[in-house]
Amino acid sequence: MLDQAKRWLDQARSVAVLTGAGISAESGIPTFRSAGGLWKQFRPEELATPQAFARDPLLVWEWYQWRRALISRAEPNAGHLALAALERRKEIFTLITQNVDGLHDRAGSKQILKIHGDIWTLRCTACPKEWRDLRPVFPALPPKCECGAMARPGVVWFGESLPARVWEEAERAAASAEVFLVAGTSAVVYPAAGLVPLAKSAGAKVIELNTEETPASAIADAALRGRSAEILPMLISSE
Ligand code: NAD
Ligand code: ZN
């Protein structure tokens, strides 16, 4: 199965990849669904929502600050690096990620569609301002905009819509790829998960990589089981 998948990937001129939290798990960043994803007994679904932020912005910011600190100590792993190497080899390549951690950027990937935003971006809750802030710990919480209003993390929360332009590009990439590789995502968070059937029905060979079976496994042409930091370098090696 791995050999067949590797051949499809080698031969394709255009490739699109969808990644999820699993690809950063081996960098020490917990996924939302793992036990390590629990923070002070809160489930991410109770914190990563506009309602939670409206109710208790300080609590939500404390969680984001904890995650930012964790991510700032993490390094991209061999899976992130393999995807950056694949991009350098392909004529047409798009990396679509649900991750907000910025590890794909740090691994050297260039064409990244961050459909769920970026934890290192902040946005004003009152004015249109949006900016980067790389400090893992803020001098005071919640952080503020220059205009004095409270800032929020520049990520897409459960129940919010995806950035329209970025999402359109993701759909276009999925619909035109010869090979669509899905790695480390539970494939249950929509609309992101819908990219898999979209790519498939547009004629792509779908390769899935996950430690467990997911809803994407059933429609994958090759469903590979294993850890992404181990399997991706094998799948993408040039010999
Ligand atoms: P998820 O937590 O729902 O699923 C993670 C998937 O990765 C699971 O299917 C699991 O079996 C698999 N997995 C775990 N370890 C793996 C490994 N070493 N190799 C391969 N697969 C492995 O994550 P999701 O599908 O990305 O969706 C959850 C949402 O949470 C996303 O919207 C994302 O924005 C957000 N999130 C982001 C981060 C991050 O940026 N690193 C971390 C947690 C959650
Ligand atoms: Zn402002």
Q: Does ligand 1 have an atom closer than 6 angstroms to the CB of 104?
A: no
Residues 165 and 207 occupy one common structural domain: yes
Q: Which ligand has an atom closest to residue 149 CA?
A: 2
Q: Are residues 175 and 229 in the same domain?
A: yes
- Say which amino acid occupies 222: A
Q: Is the minimum distance from the CB of 65 to ligand 1 under 6 angstroms?
A: no
* CB 212 near ligand 1, within 6 Å: yes
Same domain, 133 and 48: yes
Q: Which residues are near ligand 2, the ion (C-beta closer than 5 Å)?
A: 124, 127, 129, 145, 147, 149
> In the β-sheet with 179-183, what is the strand arrangement from edge to edge?
112-114, 92-97, 14-19, 179-183, 205-210, 222-225
- The pLDDT assigned to 200 comes to 98
- Select the more confidently predicted residue: 35 or 1: 1
Is residue 104 among the annotated active site residues? no
pLDDT at 239: 61
Q: Which residues on adjacent β-strands are paired with residue 225?
A: 210
Q: For ligand 1, say whether the CB of 175 is within 6 Å of any of its atoms.
A: no
pLDDT at 155: 98
Q: Distances in Å between the alpha carbon of 85 and those of 91, 109, 158, 229?
A: 12, 8, 32, 13
| 154 ligand 1 Cβ < 6 A | no
Residue numbers of the domain that contains 139: 35-73+124-155
Q: Are residues 177 and 214 in the same domain?
A: yes
Residue 122 in this model has a pLDDT that exceeds 90: yes
Whether residue 113 contacts residue 105, with contact meaning beta carbons closer than 8 Å, is answered with: no
From the candidates 116, 152, 205, 227, give the one annotated as an active-site residue.
116
pLDDT of residue 237: 85
Atom of ligand 1 nearest to the CA of 22: 7
Structural domains in the chain (count): 2
Closest ligand 1 atom number to CA of residue 33: 2
User: How large is the average pLDDT for residues 227-231?
Assistant: 98
> What was the pLDDT predicted at 29?
96
Residues 230 and 134 in one domain: no
What average pLDDT does the segment 107-127 reach? 98
Please give the backbone phi and psi of residue 122, each rounded to the nearest 5 degrees, phi first: -120, 155
Q: Are residues 128 and 150 located together in one domain of the fold? A: yes
User: Please, which pLDDT band fits residue 33 given cuts at 50, 70 and 90?
Assistant: confident
Residues 96 and 193 occupy one common structural domain: yes
What mean pLDDT do residues 46-66 have? 96
Q: Check whether residue 229 and residue 186 sit in a common domain.
A: yes
Percentage of residues of the chain with pLDDT beyond 90: 92
Q: How confident is the model at residue 34 (pLDDT cuts 50, 70, 90)?
A: confident
Looking at residue 95, which CATH number applies to its domain? 3.40.50.1220
24 CB within 6 A, ligand 1: yes
Q: Which of 180, 181, 183, 231 is closest to 209 using CA atoms?
A: 183
Rounded mean pLDDT of 139-155?
A: 97
| Predicted confidence (pLDDT) per residue in 62-107, tens digit | 999 999 999 999 999 999 999 999 999 999 999 999 999 999 999 9
- Note whether 191 and 96 are same-domain residues: yes
Span 179-186, mean pLDDT? 97
- The average pLDDT across 156-185 equals 97
Predicted TM-score of the model (pTM): 0.97
The mean predicted confidence, pLDDT, of the chain is 96
Task: Please tell me the predicted confidence (pLDDT) of residue 229.
Answer: 98
Same domain, 47 and 85: no
- Residue finishing a domain among 137, 155, 173: 155
pLDDT at 36 over 90: no
Ligand 1: nearest atom to the Cα of 71: 41
Atom of ligand 1 nearest to the CA of 21: 26
Annotate the chain with three-state secondary structure. Answer: CHHHHHHHHHHCCEEEEEECCHHHHCCCCCCCCCHHHCECCECHHHHCCHHHHHHCHHHHHHHHHHHHHHHHCCCCCHHHHHHHHHHHHCCEEEEEECCCCCHHHHHCCCCEEECCEEEEEEEECCCCCEEECCCCCCCCCCCECCCCCEEEEEECCCCCCCCHHHHHHHHHHHHHCCEEEEECCCCCCCCHHHHHHHHHHCCCEEEEEECCCCCCHHHCCEEEECCHHHHHHHHHCCC
